[in-house]
Amino acid sequence: MRKVFYSVLAALALFFSLPGTSQEYRISHFGLTEGISHQYVYTVSQDNHGYIWIGTGQGLCRFNGIAFDTDILQDSLGTEVAQASIKDSRGVLWFGYQSGDIAKYDGTSFSTVKPGVEITSAVTGFAALEDGDLIVSTQNNSLFSLNVQTGAANPVSGIEMGLFTALSVKGKMLLLGSMEGLAVYSI
């Protein structure tokens, strides 16, 4: 009797699942013909106004959901490659460039940040700390703590120098991706 019950139950479940449809995803591709300035995309961030900022091989683009704006006035940065970006807790966008420059966009204008330490290689990533400041990784200068109010940076101590390609902060843990794998540090 139990066998018949389970067989009927399985048949009903199969019958009702067949006519169902799976979720359909709408995927759009944006390339040179759609207006993006370069096909290689390094970083993507969204500002508080809903604009999508894209760091490409030919500089920054801004996407409003319909069209790309590639005529972005970035002060002295011109068409430098923005390799990393993040939006901080105040809504300010931060961009790290392959030249080692750092810029911020406050929603109305760009300004170049002078962190007070020499960064001689590409900025490879940002991560936000609980206090609102940022951790900045660079290709060969290791890690810096960046005060978002003053723009001043200090080297992070206690971490081996390395080429960090990805970083993330989760609570009191700092995760660093490198060519040697993943390292987890306690902050």
Tokens of 183: 């390292």
Tokens of 39: 């096909």
Residue 48: the pLDDT is 92
Distance CA 129, CA 185 (A): 13
Taking the alpha carbons of 106, 111, 114, 120 in that order, is the dihedral positive or negative? Answer: positive
pLDDT score of 51 more than 90: yes
The rounded radius of gyration (Å) of the Cα atoms in the chain is 23
Query: Nearest Cα to 63, choosing from 53, 71, 55?
Result: 53
Q: Which helix (H) or strand (E) holds 31?
A: none
Q: For the chain, percent helix, then strand, then coil, each to nearest 5?
A: 10, 40, 50
Render pLDDT for 83-115 as a digit per residue (tens, 0 to 9): 999 999 999 999 998 888 899 999 888 888 888
Residue 39: the pLDDT is 87
